[in-house]
Amino acid sequence: MAEEQNCAPKFRTSIGGQALIEGILMRGPGKQAIVVRSPEGLVIKEENIRLTRDKYPVLGLPLIRGAVTFIDSMVHGVKALMFSADYFPDEDLGQPSKLDLWIERHFSGEAAQKLVTTLAVVLSLGMTILLFFLLPTFLAGFVDPYISSAALHNVVESALKLVIFFAYMLLVSKQKDIQRVFQYHGAEHKTIFCYEAGLPLTVENCRIQKRFHPRCGTSFLFVVVVISILISSVVFSFVEWRNLWVRFALHLLLLVPIIGVAYEFNRYVGGHDNPVTRFLSRPGLWLQNFTTNEPDDSMLEVAIKAIELVIPEEKGKDAW
């Protein structure tokens, strides 16, 4: 009976989460909660949130809202990760770096935190663009002297994107320090599934749920890569594809529409259950083998506490 409820949720929630260092961030329609299991016990931080697209309605339009939501999620996610990391200082770091000392000298506490958050978001976004968009384009340039068509170049670049993406996922999944984070990721998914199934939020009910969720960020990132392959393959057929700087510029210009299309795709697949959406979601679900692990009961307790704090009082307000 529990398995049938797991496969056929009563509704789909817009509540989503992120695994942290020994904790979980859950975001509901009006607030978010961070729950961290520190050495002293559970640490809870709740705050009301208002998305950028809520302040400026034009940013909530389809194809635009995807990029805005992505940046919003990155900013809140980085802040939450830094919050959880404060409870587990790395003893191997030694003395503060020159950058840390410079920030302490020139900025107050709140301003320093905003600067560090901004730098972290910019670096994360920059590394993502460099690794999954610009690096494949650069490497594909080495075969250009031996090919004579844009179509073949696009095939080579697309293959490199996929190889780099899968290699990245595999390497990250092998890092020992990240294993427990991925267990919390699994706990987040299981708890959301339990809530969507209409079951009481208990460790026992959450434990039996699946850990692969169709609205996961891992699936979203894969969709971004695939859509970038499809869009750039078309666009590069009409430009000077041998010019490396032209290709770099186009990749950067196409980022917003690519993320926008990926976001709308994930919204549709996440909100519908039919043979087509199940087929389309399979690659992203399979990739979660690399980014989620089976959690223990203490991790499920953290996830349950986090989601309970963001479930809206008005029933159905968080419907997908």
- Reported as a single tens digit per residue, the pLDDT across 169-204 is 999 988 888 999 999 999 999 999 999 999 999 999
Q: CA-to-CA distance for 116 and 106, rounded, in angstroms?
A: 13
Q: Is the CB of residue 187 less than 8 Å from the CB of residue 197?
A: no
Q: Among 53-62, 142-151, 205-214, 271-280, which is the least confidently predicted range?
A: 53-62
pLDDT of the residue at 269: 85
Q: What is the pTM of this model?
A: 0.85
pLDDT in tens, 25-42: 999 988 999 999 998 899
Q: Which two tokens stand for residue 239?
A: 């430009």
Query: In the structure encoding, which two tokens stand for residue 54, read together?
Result: 């809520």
Q: Using CA atoms, how far apart are residues 300 and 295, in angstroms rounded to an integer?
A: 7
Q: What sign does the CA torsion over 212, 299, 21, 112 have? A: positive
Average pLDDT (69-97) is: 78
User: pLDDT tier at 144 (50, 70, 90 boundaries)?
Assistant: confident
- Write down the pLDDT at residue 116: 76
Q: Check whether 5 has a pLDDT greater than 50.
A: no
The closest alpha carbon to 270, from 77, 11, 4, belongs to 11
Output the pLDDT for position 267.
85
pLDDT for residue 110 is more than 80: no
Residue 316 domain flag: no
The answer to whether position 22 is within a domain reads yes
- 319 belongs to a structural domain: no
Q: Is 169 domain-assigned?
A: yes
Q: What is the pLDDT of residue 2?
A: 40
Enter the tokens of residue 198: 């209409």
pLDDT band at 107 (very low <50, low <70, confident <90, very high): low
At residue 227, the 3 state secondary structure works out as helix
Does the pLDDT of residue 54 top 70, yes or no?
yes
Mean pLDDT across the chain:
86
For residue 63, the enclosing domain spans 2-88+96-310
Distance of alpha carbon 169 from alpha carbon 166, whole angstroms = 5
More confident residue, 106 or 299: 299
Mean pLDDT of 139-147: 88
Phi, psi of 232 (to 5 degrees): -65, -30
Q: What span, in angstroms and rounded, lies between the C-alpha atoms of 251 and 236?
A: 10
Indicate whether 135 pLDDT > 90.
yes
pLDDT for the residue numbered 238: 85
Residue 108 reports pLDDT greater than 50: yes
Percent of residues, the chain, with pLDDT higher than 70: 90
pLDDT at 90: 62
Q: How many domains does the chain fold into? A: 1
Q: How far apart are CA 229 and CA 161, in angstroms?
A: 8
Torsion sign, CA atoms 109, 114, 119, 121: positive
Give me the pLDDT at residue 42, please: 93
* Count of positions (residues) in the chain: 320
